[in-house]
Chains A and B, each alone.
Chain A
Amino acid sequence: MRDQITKRFLNGMDGLGQVAQLAGESIRSILARRWESSLVLYQLYFIGIKSLSVVLITGAFTGMVLAAQTYFQFHKVGMDTATLAVVSISMCSELGPVLSALMVAGRVGAAIAAELGTMKVTEQIDALRTLATHPVDYLVVPRLIATTVALPLLTVSSICVGIAAAYAVGVGLLGIDPAYAWHNMLHYTSVQDVGVGLIKSVIFGMIIALVGCYKGLNCPQGAEGVGKATTEAVVFASIAILISNFFLTLLLTRALTQK
């Protein structure tokens, strides 16, 4: 039992080390400008535009339910007009980036792992290498750049739609005074809240791309291997997003609010 735990821990550390190596190799490739902009544009379309509807629906309904729940509690103590402020801060710094990242991890992380995994088991990755092309330059870097650029944009869209939906529910459905609610929201939501959310989404984008690419490039043989790599890419990216979110909240909130 103890040996098994030790073995799993060491395997986990080994995997983490290999993801870090992949990140290092990708950054070197980006700096050396070994990537093609056309590939990045295609990935931006696939990762950004194609994920937009999923992220917007998530943002809208999260904002709506958060507005309703907050209102029900705040109404008891006569703080109705603080509802939108709570929704706005939550959406900007926590729910917007985290939920958008989780949705993109499910859609894009899985697609990256499945595509690269299939290429691995059908020897297409080896074929790339024999054609004097580094898989990191051709496969990893375009996906990494595209996810890192697209996720903050998706997060901003999600936050805007979430706040708009919360406003509609709060003002239109629950009868909150619009002028006070709007004023309180602007008063209590700071630039730092938005900054924290955007920095988080950049890091989450990197996590999704790197975990998806790592799992795909190290996919075990066979159809079962591709399935396993795809599942693990989503699970590990989601866990990594949730864990890193906690530490990023502590770190960024302190760093950005220090005077």
Chain B
Amino acid sequence: MIETRGIKKRFGSQQVLNGVDLRIEPGEAVAIIGRSGCGKSILLKHLIGLLSPDEGEVFINDRNIAHLTERELLGVRKEFGLLFQSAALFDSLTVHENVAFALRREGKLTAGEIDRRTEEALERVELPGTGSKRPAELSGGMRKRVGLARAIVYRPQIILYDEPTTGLDPVVSDSIDQLIRRLCEQLKATTIVVTHDMRSVRTVAKRVLMLHQGTIYTNSSVTDLFASTDPLIHHFVNGISTPRDILF
């Protein structure tokens, strides 16, 4: 279970998060949406302990991780897999080495078992036999898939996706969305997707949290979100700008 209580975060003069309260049950598939720069990725980084809040608490399975040290957080992060917006593959390593990285560092499995798990993860993301390639040789969609294989290889309970379809063409975006949904069902992991792609929201999520001005503006089912008459939600969901939006 993931829960945040009143988390606040400020960068310089900008208050990015201003009291975020949320609760996500195990196995849920949740999308966090909001305008660009509203703090979605910042919120995601708080959930995995990459950032610590100025105020408030973050609970992962009833353990408050908000003020743990970096070393204490390493253990907590074994429960997570995170797909970065840019995939963040280690460019000095091959695809196989990238995916096997966490298992090798952990040092609990034999080399053969690590290879088997790595190939299995690559097959899950539909990239078998690409282990010897370098990240620079991959397309944007393939990089995301490898990033995803790396995130799921040690079978985490919680998988976080930071704008998984940004920068991809519609067909590749859809294949990534289908993959996320399939992984969610197969692995029974809690899935949190940060996105502003409404098609992704429809495909992947059961529940949607909308972040606006540093707080959760709405917490609703996907159906209710798309049926909402609230001007802010309606404009965002349907991609309608107003003259005021152009200024920002």
Determine the distance from Cα of A132 to Cα of B80 in the docked complex, in whole angstroms.
9
**Does B70 contact A134, Cβ atoms closer than 8 Å?**
yes
Determine the distance from Cα of A132 to Cα of B45 in the docked complex, in whole angstroms.
14
Shortest CB–CB separation between residue B44 and chain A, in angstroms?
A: 11
**Does B77 contact A122, Cβ atoms closer than 8 Å?**
no
Determine the distance from Cα of A180 to Cα of B101 in the docked complex, in whole angstroms.
61
Determine the distance from Cα of A133 to Cα of B85 in the docked complex, in whole angstroms.
20
Shortest CB–CB separation between residue B120 and chain A, in angstroms?
A: 18
Shortest CB–CB separation between residue B167 and chain A, in angstroms?
A: 14
Summed over the interface, the residue pairs from A and B with CB atoms below 8 Å come to a total of 54
Any chain A CB within 8 A of the CB of B84? yes
- Interface segment among A7-15, A71-79, A123-131, A170-178: the answer is A123-131
Determine the distance from Cα of A130 to Cα of B91 in the docked complex, in whole angstroms.
17
Determine the distance from Cα of A122 to Cα of B101 in the docked complex, in whole angstroms.
18
Interface positions, chain B 58-97, Cβ under 8 Å from A, are 70-71, 73-75, 77-78, 80-82, 84-86, 88-91
Count contacts on A: residues with CB < 8 A to the other chain. Answer: 14
**Does B80 contact A130, Cβ atoms closer than 8 Å?**
yes
A130 to chain B: which residues have CB within 8 Å? 48, 50, 77, 80-82, 151
Any chain A CB within 8 A of the CB of B230? no
Of A122, A132, A133, the contact of B86 (CB 8 Å cutoff) = A122
Of B102, B150, B151, the contact of A132 (CB 8 Å cutoff) = B102
**Does A129 contact B70, Cβ atoms closer than 8 Å?**
yes
Main secondary structure, interface of A, reads helix
A128 to chain B: which residues have CB within 8 Å? 90
Determine the distance from Cα of A130 to Cα of B106 in the docked complex, in whole angstroms.
13
**Does A132 contact B74, Cβ atoms closer than 8 Å?**
yes
A124 with B88, Cβ < 8 A, contacts A129-B50, A132-B105 known: yes
Interface positions, chain B 90-136, Cβ under 8 Å from A, are 90-91, 101-102, 105-106
**Mind listing 6 A-B residue pairs with CB under 8 Å?**
A122-B88, A123-B85, A130-B151, A132-B75, A133-B102, A134-B74
Chain B CB count within 10 A is highest, among A130, A132, A134, for: A130
**Does B88 contact A126, Cβ atoms closer than 8 Å?**
yes
A126 with B150, Cβ < 8 A, contacts A132-B75, A132-B78 known: no
**Does A131 contact B70, Cβ atoms closer than 8 Å?**
no
**Does A132 contact B106, Cβ atoms closer than 8 Å?**
yes
Q: Which residues of A contact B (CB under 8 A)?
A: 119, 122-124, 126-134, 138
B84 to chain A: which residues have CB within 8 Å? 123, 126-127
Determine the distance from Cα of A123 to Cα of B102 in the docked complex, in whole angstroms.
16
Beyond the given A119-B90, A129-B73, A130-B77, please list 7 additional residue pairs across the A-B interface where CB-CB is below 8 A. A123-B86, A126-B84, A127-B88, A129-B50, A130-B81, A131-B77, A133-B101
**Does B50 contact A131, Cβ atoms closer than 8 Å?**
no
Determine the distance from Cα of A123 to Cα of B73 in the docked complex, in whole angstroms.
18
Name which residue of chain A comes closest to B77, CB basis: A132
Shortest CB–CB separation between residue B199 and chain A, in angstroms?
A: 25
A126 to chain B: which residues have CB within 8 Å? 45, 50, 84, 88
B151 to chain A: which residues have CB within 8 Å? 130
A127 to chain B: which residues have CB within 8 Å? 82, 84, 88-90
**Does B77 contact A124, Cβ atoms closer than 8 Å?**
no
B81 to chain A: which residues have CB within 8 Å? 130
Name which residue of chain B comes closest to A28, CB basis: B71
Name which residue of chain A comes closest to B49, CB basis: A129
B70 to chain A: which residues have CB within 8 Å? 129, 134
**Does B150 contact A131, Cβ atoms closer than 8 Å?**
yes
Determine the distance from Cα of A131 to Cα of B78 in the docked complex, in whole angstroms.
7
